[in-house]
A and B are shown apart, each in its own frame.
Chain A
């Protein structure tokens, strides 16, 4: 899969608004946000805050980490709703010294308690999945997201589980990313809203 790089310039106001809304609304459980994607004409509902996994890279630089940001979204096209995870792989390590091979993007594997759940990406680009505007992009970075398909039941499992880690396979080894920003409460609110609950 070769993701197409999203040009966010034209949609920075919307992306910025969506990113800042939880801050404006105050702390606590950030609510999901719904908007009409101007590029794809899909109604997109995104989680208030994404999950962020991290792997320490003190072997390369102090306080540097590799991160994976995963944001749940629901894409409504003509009443047909599909659920996706919009995932960004990014790092705070200087790329000049970050020579490790990147993890395989397919499949994405999450260890959810005792369950290993694999997510696959079937679309050529996020745009094909109905995502035109960047969803919770990492701050200050132009990172190409990968969109993985999922369903509401799986998202519920992620939101309610006791332990959640991300497992990535590289050509060399298997890497575990621990949960760095635990926004399962936001994911719970998202699942509740999409389930038709209050």
Chain B
């Protein structure tokens, strides 16, 4: 969700003002009032060759580092909340479990917590070890993570080599004697899946195999295998190895007359070299989606007398027919293959393809699922509720000697008492040629506070979209509320996204719609944008890239006009990701961001992040920052258009951030990490009645972390973090210890303790804070239950003047919170 630009600027001004005026007058120091939630949600999109996680934040975040650097079953992403998050350097950040949309079976959980001052750590857990890379975007309110080499093997016909074609079955049990019908029926009841028995002769002995399937989707097959193991411990995943029970028509189908196929030998023989070239040409035509040309070339080969690769040509012809939607012809070609090459290398997979096509046809005709297939909508999602209570208490110390003693009593403030409800739904229907996906991520927040600063009871919709993929055409269309941070798109919008994979490695993307400022509002048409992007990602290459152009209008004003490029280079030992976004209207470099990782000998890994950003992104709306009006039409009453554009420029400081991370495992249980970060935010001039904001200067932070696993017991996790750094309000020194260890069963306990000391720039006063907290969670199957409780005990030693004019020398703050949440995942 975007906080309005005016509020973002106001937060930053208040933060600086608090530091500068501390020596003269001291408002009650409530340490660190964070926004309600920092993470809006995490959208997981499964693409053909990778999985893309888009993490959307409710305010701007600076990427610091991620551990491990590129591979693991879990990744901890360290982020630095920027000024619009409204967090002071010593802010206590309550644990969050961000809603996940999609990614069932890939991402098993997400958690955000504060471990070090001025930082939050977003931990993503995967169902299995994955390779990944962090990809920055133009907008610091979102971050992407790509899971690479996550093969999405599909049994539908894809353009490519025939050996990519697979169907799956779960071999539940194998015996040298036949299974009785009761066993078959029991398996059907247990697994609620089609069950069949196939036979195989091994070393002269006949074996019988009790199987569930066939199943087109590997992920679906793996899920079924997991379910089957409890009753069938010998179960294993069979891949395209079963022919006997897949040949012939599916039950319930009528005998059909198929189109004739070209007769073998009806053309005079061609030289071997020309046959080879024709086959290569046919494969290339399939790769380019030019099915009519491929069919022509392959039919020509089919009319040849027998030659060594004729069986491959026959199979490819069936593929080409199927991809072009000519299913009857496809079946005829597959039948021809099985007739002519019953022991061929591809016989089993062709038989499976034929069975799948027939079953799909039977379902279409009868309206019922035919044995051997499972189609229809797959629905997954989660429901979660989080209750949080957060309260603070300020008590003042004794006044200095010889001063008037009129110290106010301790004051209690309740800053949060609310329940957050989140629902995520993903419905998917995979077809032979079309995929449909519907997504919904919405929430309702209920506040029990009655104060003016209470949350309210908003209903928010983060994502609500419908998507259709036309596989033969390579065309994807998505309409509705959606989120994207590539191609120059700045986050959530209501509109249309189109992607056309017109050639194997090339895609053209276009998007248009209305940017979403607040998730609680319906589509706002006073802003609109359009983008166009060209992507290149050739299979097997180590790099890919894209260029884009984007325009945005706000209330008829030109808001943004940008061009840019993104590039990714990934090899086994190094990666480099870069994003450049240049505004051609304002002639300003919005974003130049480069993140790289390199693995060195002796198990060292080094990562760097170099960013230069307009913060916030330079748009004409920035002219509203610090102004008493909320739209540009109102601003036009006092300023000309050119002055408004200049105000936008003036209100947009440049942030530069450089971080360098070195990481090395120490033995098997320890890992050492050192992070150095340098941040600088530029000054903004005084203009339009808004005061100048000075530059922050170079703020350096040094941090070392020591991770230890299985120190006290198996599977425990511990991290010691030491931080020394400079912030806008002063110097921070911090030590934090975080642990998580299993209690037994599915329970885990995570105690944490942090000690912070802030020496303020203005006045030199010191603030000492102790933050004990504990997270207790229980996770089993589809349920996650969490209890998070903590306190923040702060003491400030300074010569302070209170609102009533009284002076005190110390002020103590006690803050405590408790949050209880649960999540239920279904699929």
Residues of A within 8 A of B (CB): 36, 41-43, 76-80, 111, 113-116, 153-154, 156-157, 160-162
**Contact (Cβ within 8 A) A41 B234:** no
Query: Could you list 20 examples of A-B contacts with CB < 8 Å?
Result: A36-B667, A36-B668, A43-B669, A78-B603, A78-B665, A78-B668, A78-B671, A79-B68, A80-B71, A80-B129, A114-B200, A114-B207, A114-B209, A115-B236, A153-B236, A154-B236, A157-B236, A160-B234, A161-B234, A162-B175
Additional pairs, 10, CB under 8 Å, beyond known A114-B174, A154-B236, A160-B234 = A41-B667, A43-B669, A76-B668, A78-B603, A79-B73, A80-B129, A113-B207, A113-B234, A114-B200, A157-B234
- Is B344 engaged at the interface, CB distance under 8 Å to the other chain? no
Chain A residues near B709 (CB, 8 Å)? Answer: 79
Chain B residues near A78 (CB, 8 Å)? Answer: 68, 603, 665, 668, 671
Q: Which listed residue (A42, A77, A113, A116) contacts B174, Cβ 8 A?
A: A113
The closest CB in chain A to the CB of B229 belongs to A156
- Is B202 engaged at the interface, CB distance under 8 Å to the other chain? yes
Q: CA separation between A52 and B461, bound complex, in Å?
A: 61
**Contact (Cβ within 8 A) A43 B668:** yes
Q: CA separation between A153 and B665, bound complex, in Å?
A: 29
- Is B237 engaged at the interface, CB distance under 8 Å to the other chain? yes
Q: CA separation between A115 and B202, bound complex, in Å?
A: 8
Chain B residues near A111 (CB, 8 Å)? Answer: 202-203
B229-272: CB near A (< 8 Å → 1, else 0) gives: 10001101100000000000000000000000000000000000
Q: CA separation between A157 and B228, bound complex, in Å?
A: 13
Q: CA separation between A161 and B235, bound complex, in Å?
A: 10
> How far apart are A182's CB and chain B's nearest CB, in angstroms?
16
Q: Which listed residue (B72, B171, B174, B237) contacts A79, Cβ 8 A?
A: B72
Those of B688-722 within 8 Å (CB) of chain A: 709
Chain A residues near B209 (CB, 8 Å)? Answer: 114
**Contact (Cβ within 8 A) A41 B236:** no
The closest CB in chain B to the CB of A188 belongs to B233
Chain B residues near A114 (CB, 8 Å)? Answer: 174, 200, 202, 207, 209
Chain A residues near B129 (CB, 8 Å)? Answer: 79-80
Q: CA separation between A83 and B174, bound complex, in Å?
A: 25
Q: CA separation between A77 and B174, bound complex, in Å?
A: 35
The closest CB in chain A to the CB of B205 belongs to A114
Q: CA separation between A113 and B202, bound complex, in Å?
A: 9
Chain B residues near A157 (CB, 8 Å)? Answer: 234, 236
> How far apart are B540's CB and chain A's nearest CB, in angstroms?
21
Those of B154-204 within 8 Å (CB) of chain A: 171, 174-175, 200, 202-203
The closest CB in chain A to the CB of B225 belongs to A153
**Contact (Cβ within 8 A) A80 B207:** no
Most chain A CB inside 10 Å of its own CB: which residue of B72, B209, B229, B236: B236
Q: CA separation between A116 and B129, bound complex, in Å?
A: 28
**Contact (Cβ within 8 A) A115 B174:** yes
> How far apart are A134's CB and chain B's nearest CB, in angstroms?
19
Those of B136-168 within 8 Å (CB) of chain A: none
The closest CB in chain A to the CB of B603 belongs to A78
Most chain A CB inside 10 Å of its own CB: which residue of B73, B200, B234: B234
**Contact (Cβ within 8 A) A42 B668:** yes
**Contact (Cβ within 8 A) B72 A80:** yes
Q: CA separation between A153 and B222, bound complex, in Å?
A: 11
The 5 closest A-B pairs by CB, nearest first: A114-B207, A160-B234, A114-B174, A160-B233, A113-B174
> How far apart are A132's CB and chain B's nearest CB, in angstroms?
12
Q: CA separation between A182 and B636, bound complex, in Å?
A: 87
> How far apart are A192's CB and chain B's nearest CB, in angstroms?
10
Q: CA separation between A153 and B68, bound complex, in Å?
A: 26
Q: CA separation between A108 and B635, bound complex, in Å?
A: 78
> How far apart are A93's CB and chain B's nearest CB, in angstroms?
26
Q: Which listed residue (A36, A77, A116, A156) contacts B233, Cβ 8 A?
A: A156
Chain B residues near A160 (CB, 8 Å)? Answer: 233-234
> How far apart are B126's CB and chain A's nearest CB, in angstroms?
12
Q: CA separation between A21 and B203, bound complex, in Å?
A: 39
Q: CA separation between A36 and B665, bound complex, in Å?
A: 14
> How far apart are B108's CB and chain A's nearest CB, in angstroms?
13
> How far apart are B245's CB and chain A's nearest CB, in angstroms?
15
The closest CB in chain B to the CB of A43 belongs to B668
Q: CA separation between A147 and B647, bound complex, in Å?
A: 69
Chain A residues near B71 (CB, 8 Å)? Answer: 80
Chain A residues near B667 (CB, 8 Å)? Answer: 36, 41
Q: CA separation between A42 and B203, bound complex, in Å?
A: 41
> How far apart are A130's CB and chain B's nearest CB, in angstroms?
10
Chain B residues near A76 (CB, 8 Å)? Answer: 668
Q: CA separation between A76 and B207, bound complex, in Å?
A: 37
Q: CA separation between A153 and B71, bound complex, in Å?
A: 22
Q: CA separation between A87 and B234, bound complex, in Å?
A: 23
**Contact (Cβ within 8 A) A41 B174:** no
Chain A residues near B234 (CB, 8 Å)? Answer: 113, 157, 160-162
> How far apart are A156's CB and chain B's nearest CB, in angstroms?
7
> How far apart are A140's CB and chain B's nearest CB, in angstroms?
31
**Contact (Cβ within 8 A) A153 B202:** no
> How far apart are A105's CB and chain B's nearest CB, in angstroms?
23
> How far apart are A161's CB and chain B's nearest CB, in angstroms?
6
The closest CB in chain A to the CB of B207 belongs to A114
> How far apart are A80's CB and chain B's nearest CB, in angstroms?
6
Q: CA separation between A76 and B669, bound complex, in Å?
A: 10
Q: CA separation between A78 and B664, bound complex, in Å?
A: 10
The closest CB in chain B to the CB of A165 belongs to B203
> How far apart are B243's CB and chain A's nearest CB, in angstroms?
15
> How far apart are B289's CB and chain A's nearest CB, in angstroms?
35
Q: CA separation between A198 and B649, bound complex, in Å?
A: 63
Those of B572-626 within 8 Å (CB) of chain A: 603
Q: CA separation between A36 and B203, bound complex, in Å?
A: 43
Chain A residues near B669 (CB, 8 Å)? Answer: 43
The closest CB in chain B to the CB of A37 belongs to B668
The closest CB in chain A to the CB of B129 belongs to A80
Chain A residues near B174 (CB, 8 Å)? Answer: 113-115, 162
B665-685: CB near A (< 8 Å → 1, else 0) gives: 101110100000000000000
Chain A residues near B200 (CB, 8 Å)? Answer: 114
Chain A residues near B171 (CB, 8 Å)? Answer: 115
Chain B residues near A116 (CB, 8 Å)? Answer: 202
Q: CA separation between A162 and B209, bound complex, in Å?
A: 13
Q: Given A79-B73, A113-B207, do A153 and B668 touch, yes or no (CB 8 Å)?
A: no
Chain A residues near B603 (CB, 8 Å)? Answer: 78
Those of B39-76 within 8 Å (CB) of chain A: 68, 71-73
> How far apart are B237's CB and chain A's nearest CB, in angstroms?
7
Q: CA separation between A113 and B236, bound complex, in Å?
A: 12
